Amino acid sequence: MKNLKNKEKSGRLIIVAYRLPFKIISENDQVQLFQNSGGLVSAVLSLVHEQEGSPFNSEEKIQWVGFSENTPEELEGQSLANDSFQAHPVFIPTEVNENYYEGFCNNLIWPLCHYFPSLAKFDDAYFESYQIANKLFFDKVAEIIQPDDVVWVQDYQLMLLPDMIRQQFPQNKIGFFFHIPFPSFELFRMLPVKWRKAIIDGILGADVVGFHTNDYVEYFLKAARMVSGYGNKLHYINMSNRIVKVDSFPISIDYKKFNSAFDEPAVKKEREQVRASLKEKIIFSVDRLDYSKGILHRLHGFQRFLEVYPDWHEKVSFVMVVVPSRDSIEQYQQMKSDIDQTVGRINANFGNINWQPIIYQYRSMPYDELLGMYTASDVALITPVRDGMNLVCKEYVASRKDKKGVLILSEMAGAAAELGEALIINPLDDQDIADAIKRAFEMPEEEQTKRMNAMQTRIREYDVFAWTNDFFTQMIMLEQEHERLRQV
Ligand code: GDG
C-alpha cells in the first residue's frame, strides 16, 4: 500500500454504479441508510477508512452515486448518509430506464458480451435512452465533484460516463471497471458504428480501465484500435494529451469472511442438517436465472452422469438453487420453464421413492444457508457458458476451511484463468461434465486438499482488498508517469 500514499493530494472517492448498495428508509423525518454487505462495499470501506497509507482522505465519507428504485423522490437533494458513506440517488424516469436498463443494457450489451448475438435486440430508442441515463449520472457527479476527488465508474451500464466526466473535469482522476466479459471484436463490431465509437471513446475517458482477464484486455485493445484508431504500447494508450492504462484486475472476494464462516455456529448447524438429510455425495450449484450461467447444460451433464455411471444411483443429491432474476422478460420465463421441465424429467426418469436426484429451488438463499451448502457439498458444479469472473466458485473454495471438496469449473468463466486446480470442463460437452463428476467423487482426500490449498492460497493473497489496492496503485503510478512526462 505504500505507493498509494499521497497525503498532500488526497481527495474523496466517488463510486458510480448503476445501483446504490443501500436500502434507504425514511421514517419520522429521519433518513437511514442500510448498506449491503457486497464485496465492493467492504473493499472500498477498507481502502478508504481502515488502511494505513490510503490514497484517500479518510476523514471524508465515500460518495456513492447510483440509481435507487426505492428512494422516495422527495428525498432528492437531501443528504443521505451513514458513518462511512454518502449516497446520491439518481432518479431515472421509468420510460427512460426501460429502454436504458432493460433495453440497451440487458437486451443488447448483456447478450452480445456473453456471446448470444442472436438474442441481441437493436433499437435506436435504446441507445438514445442509454445516452440520456448516462447524462443523468453525469449530472449527479457534476453536482458533487471536488478538484481532488477520484471517480471510479463501474460496469457496462455506464460506458459513456468516463468521457463525459473527462470533458468537463479534466483534472480529476477517473477509473473504469468492466465486470462482464469484453467480447472478441467479431461480436463487438455487430454494434452500429456510431454506438461502437461512443462506447470506446466513452470508456477511454478514464485513466485506468480494468477487466477481469488478459483476454478481455486484448479484445478491448483491439476494439479501440479498430474503432477509434488508438494503438497501444504494453497496454498504455497514448491519447495525445494523456495516457490511458488498460489492464486486468481479476475481482475477488473477502477471503477471511468466507473462510471463517466455516466455524460460525449458524453455518455449522446448516451444514449438519444438510449432511444428515441428503445422500452420501452432494453436488451444489447456485446462480441467478440467466442463459449465460449454463443451467440447462449443467442439467444435461448431470443426466449423462446418471446414464453412464449407474453405480452412483441413490448415492448422490444435486442441490440446484436458481435465484429469480429478470423473470418478467419472456425469454427468461421460457428458460425457467425449460429448466422446470428438464429437472422434472430427470427426477421422474431416475428417481424412486427413496431418492430424488435433483433438489431444485427457485429462490434466493439466506447467507447462513448458502455457507451451509458450500461447506457441506462434495462438489460445486459451476458451468457458465460465459461469465466475466464468477464469484461463487471463489466463495466455495474460500469457505472450505476443512480443505475438502472439489470444484468443477467451466473454462468459459473468467475465474478459470486463476483456478487451474479445479476440474476444468467445457460446459457444452455433457460427457465432459459427467466424467468430471465421477472423477470428483472418486478423488482421494489428499488430492482434494492439495488442490484446495493451491486455490485458497491464490484467493487469500489476491482478495477483494488486494483487488482495489491494485487498481488504485495503477492510478497513482499512472499519475507519476504523467508527472515524469511533463518534466521531460
Ligand atoms: C457480475 C458478473 C462477476 C447468489 N445467489 C445467492 C447469493 N449470491 C451471491 C453469490 C455471489 C454473487 O451473488 C454472484 O456473483 P457472480 O460473480 O457469480 O455473478 P453476477 O451477479 O452475474 O456478477 C460476474 C461479478 O459481476 C463481479 O465482477 O464475477 O461474472 O456477471 O457473491 O454469493 N447470495 C446469497 N443467496 C443467494 O441465493 N446470500
pLDDT in tens, 362-380: 999 999 999 999 999 999 9
| Pocket lining: 190 vs ligand 1, CB cutoff 6 Å | no
- Distance CA(269)–CA(281), nearest Å, equals 19
Percent of the chain with pLDDT over 70: 97
Ligand 1 pocket test, pick from 389, 463, 468 with the greatest ligand atom count within 8 Å of Cβ, gives: 389
- Tell me what pLDDT residue 9 has: 54
Q: Where are the alpha helices (DSSP H) in 55-157?
A: 94-97, 110-113, 124-144
Say what the pLDDT of residue 240 is: 82
Alpha helices, DSSP H, located in 157-211: 161-168, 185-188, 193-203
Q: Label residue 31 by pLDDT band (50, 70, 90).
A: confident
**Element holding 206 (H helix, E strand):** none
Grade residue 3 by pLDDT with cuts at 50, 70 and 90. very low
Q: Which atom of ligand 1 is nearest to the CA of 251?
A: 28
Categorize the per-residue pLDDT at 26 as very low, low, confident or very high, splitting at 50, 70 and 90: confident
C-alpha of residue 20 to centroid of ligand 1, in Å:
16
Q: Of 435, 451, 442, 452, give the one whose Cα is nearest residue 401.
A: 452
Please, is 248 exposed, middle or buried when counting C-beta atoms within 10 Å of its C-beta (0-12, 13-18, 19+)? middle
> Does 37 sit in the ligand 1 pocket, CB within 6 Å?
no
Q: Is the CB of 464 under 6 A from ligand 1?
A: no
Would you say 475 and 208 are in contact if contact means Cβ atoms under 8 Å apart? yes
Q: CB of 180 closer than 6 A to ligand 1? A: yes
Q: Is the pLDDT of residue 351 over 80?
A: yes
Q: Is the pLDDT of residue 319 over 80?
A: yes
- Sorting pLDDT into bands at 50, 70 and 90, what band is 57? confident
Q: Helices (DSSP H) in 110-150: which residue ranges?
A: 110-113, 124-144
Whether ligand 1 lies within 6 angstroms of the CB of 386 is answered as no
If you measure from the C-alpha of residue 328 to the centroid of ligand 1, how many angstroms do you get, rounded to a whole number? 20
- Ligand 1 neighbour 395 (Cβ under 6 A): yes
HSE, side-chain direction, 13 A CA sphere, residue 18: 16
Query: CA 231, CA 252: separation in Å to the nearest integer?
Result: 30
Question: From the CB of 384, is ligand 1 less than 6 Å away?
Answer: no
> Ligand 1 test: best mutation among 391, 396, 407, 418, most atoms within 8 Å of CB?
391
370 lines ligand 1 (CB under 6 A): yes
Residue 298 belongs to what H/E stretch? helix 295-308
224: left (phi over 0), alpha (psi -120 to 50) or beta: alpha
Rounded distance between C-alpha atoms, residue 88 and residue 62, angstroms = 11
Strand partners for 425: 410
Cα(287) to centroid(ligand 1), Å: 7
Query: For ligand 1, what atom is nearest to the CA of residue 391?
Result: 17
Q: What are 254-265's pLDDT values in tens digits?
A: 999 999 999 999
Does the beta carbon of 179 sit less than 6 angstroms from any atom of ligand 1? yes
251 CB near ligand 1 (under 6 Å): yes
14 lines ligand 1 (CB under 6 A): no
Check pLDDT > 70 for residue 165: yes
From the CA of 38, how far away is ligand 1's center (Å)? 9
CA 56 to chain centre: 24
Q: Which of 229-238, 311-320, 353-362, 432-441 has the lowest mean pLDDT?
A: 229-238
- Contact indicator for 162, 202 with CB cutoff of 8 Å: yes
Amino acid at 258: F
All three cell numbers of 482, joined, read: 504523467
Ligand 1 nearest atom to the CA of residue 395, by list position: 33
Average pLDDT over residues 239-265: 95
State whether the beta carbon of 393 lies less than 6 angstroms from ligand 1.
no
